[in-house]
A and B are shown apart, each in its own frame.
Chain A
Amino acid sequence: MPGTGLPDPGSADPVGRHATPLRVALVASPLGGPPSQVHPIGAMTVASYLQTQLGEQVEASVLNFGSSPASRARARACLAELAPAVVGFPIYSSHVHEVVGWARELRRLLPGAVFVAGGPHVTLSWPGFVQRWGSVFDFSVSGDGETPMLAIVRGVLAGDLTAAREHPGVGWLSGGGVRTNPAAPPLPVQDWTDPFRCPVLHDGQPLVFTDRREGRVRRAVALVSSRSCPQKCSFCAIIAMPGGWRAAPTATLVEWLAAEHRRSGFEHVYFMDANFFVSADRVRELIGALADRLPGVTWSTSSTVGFLLAMGEDLPWLVERGLRAIEMGIESGSPEQLRFLNKRVSVQRNRQAVELVQRNRLELGLDYIMFYPDQTVPQLMENLAFLADARLLDEEYFDHYTNALELYPGTPVRAEFERRAGRPFDPDELPDPGSLFADPQIQRIYQAFVGDFVANHLPAIRSRINELRRFAAGPDTGPLDRQLARLQIFLLRHVPFKVLRQLCEDSSATTAAQALPWLAERSFAADAVLALADSTPLRLDPLPEPVA
């Protein structure tokens, strides 16, 4: 048992009779950047559940700080002042070692606290996680975290963790041996708790939504209205965790949001569900009730293609009631890749879903896996062709050009590639996508595109686009310069497409500049950028006479 954790038996009061509330802090660990504007919803949910169940016996809070030295110092100062008796860490597969390092650092700051690991990675790599990291964390929690965490906190309050050690979903290291209980069953939806009940301490920017339809920025909150997903995509970690798709009751959700609206006056809701439109009846009921209760509040969410298309006729009604953006798991424009990912959708249906979003003037968040291990060059070009066919060349962000399939623990694709490799991957690492490509041509393209273009050129292009956007919107900018700036933005947004397409077409190109010579000098002078236009010949012969 690495931490002492338990109150001194001689000084602890019986359960529920502590002179001061027991403090519990759930620390969303810095993951290599600024704190997420979206607060850690899972941690908020667990902390709020503890607060609801234990009332004045506990003070549960969530910390969401960045990873800069200054942010880390603020987080340490905050924790030193809080002096929590229990510290929880949500852990994601992409940053296991960072979180473990952070926990070790905090162990020195809070030597008496009980440390608990939770979050998706613990569940996905259960029970091996306990074996590997049980020396850092007193307990690990698998599955829905609410009741296991409640059992642990009750045990700390009581000075007796015996019951916690018997609780489903709890694991720990005992004398070098792994002790785990079966995963906790999914928490019944009627027991879900208002995630906004707990305070979130943070040093980041407030969450906002940019509403381009109305040309304004809205203060926002984020929550999940449902958990899991009924799809069976072979790469998805969400469905590798226990429990089927389940949703909070509509009346409960609306009450949570109405209460938070009274406190913060938010103007937009991010529904961070994995797949919001699974039940059309639920969506109609929820959005109807939300629009009645909080008129003028807008919302955005995520969906897979099939469920969105099934609600196609409802979309105008939903837009009238505040729908502004949909993040959609398109993933690919290649039939073979869609089969590999077990998306159970056709390229044509993907295209229809994009058109549906565009027709309703919604913002599209594009989830797209440009590279995957078994890919061939023609399949990669199918992915590019889809972006052009679906009118997705002008997206603001570039992630859809750079994303490669990630092999999350517990997923069928990871198991398949471990079988091919004849050995398991490091359970706390996501394998480098560049090491998995079977086709040497894809290896070449990936290295030139992600290793060279994304690393050495894309940041400057992003920066120039932002400069041009500010310049075009500036009050002192003349009309001609505004137009030229706006047109340059579009041409710069096309650069990743052109580089990747040329790398596919020229099998000798091994650097980004060989694919697009402009990158060798990378001049952002207006003439140089405008010369990037391919200037497709226009059919104007014979030219009609101009109007007199």
Chain B
Amino acid sequence: MQKATSLRDLDWVLIGLALTLAAIGVVEIYSTTAHSALAAQYKKQILWILLGFVLALVVSQIDYHIILEQTPWLYVLSVLALAGLLVGGRSVAGARRWMHLGGLTFQVSEMVKLVIILLVAGYFADKRSRYVTWGGLVKLGALVGLPAVLVALEPDLGTALTFIPIAVAGVFLAGIRARQVAVLCLLGLLALPVGWHFLRPYQRERMMSFVRLTHDTQGSSYQVTQTKIAIGSGGFWGKGIGNGTQSRLGFIPVSHADSIFAALAEEQGFVGTLFVLLLYLALLLRLVDGAQMAGDRAGAILLVGFAAVLFFQIAVNTGMMIGYLPVTGIPLPLMSQGGTSVLFTFVGLGLALSVKVRQFVN
């Protein structure tokens, strides 16, 4: 294992993919917010990307094992921060998701995502058996579940759900028996009615409208309808930058943030959709490839966990735009406007780079 790495050895293809996606995001943010009250958002986004990029380079220089060693106190800090938010956080639009630091707001759950990746990676790093034990599953479930529940209580069900694919990816790599999978699936099914009970009215409404049990043209299915109109009306070539009537005239909500992909589809057409999805695909496949070459199990899980969380967010975000999945507030990584999300995605990328640069060399 080399002690120091040079920047030249980093995976610049990965960095290039991430920066390209972020740049496309900036263009779309600019296009949908120009001449509106949010017109300056794209500049902020550029600053966050640059900051994230620098952070990624810094993190890539740190041996990920050293970072892994910080997991216990990072975890405790995360849980405390989440609990603190619930107790004393300022409510913005009915949710306590943001921590206020000076003049900046900070979405704690975005940071927790990375901590969960570290947690899962660390957890399986020294397990030697071929399959996880029930005890191990319960322990992991409790460790991941606690922050997830706290996030879900904010309420931010979408982000809470992103923790699950990390754990699933870890368990999958570490090995699990088919019988255990079956039992878990059954338990999950049984838990559904209980979960329904805990959903908030608007969340239930989203689920109902997703399965077409209710149809309110002005409510949550309105959102999906309008988003589909935006995407569909983009056609093959799109309407061109700044010409997306659906996104610019306010028919799609938060077209610069969560719904940015619909704005892209409207303005850049299927060509744009295809191009961006292929970039994401390349990014994900490259991360998984890197895991295969990782120096150790912890590194592999770090990469796959990061890929899992990205994949989950990309699939859910782009899938709900076309009605594949119920509406939930999940940003599109790298593209959606939002400082914390961009920053921690780049930090995650830094972690991935750190693993990749220290990969097993034979």
**B and A form one assembly:** no
Please list the residues of chain B having a beta carbon within 8 angstroms of any beta carbon in chain A. Answer: none
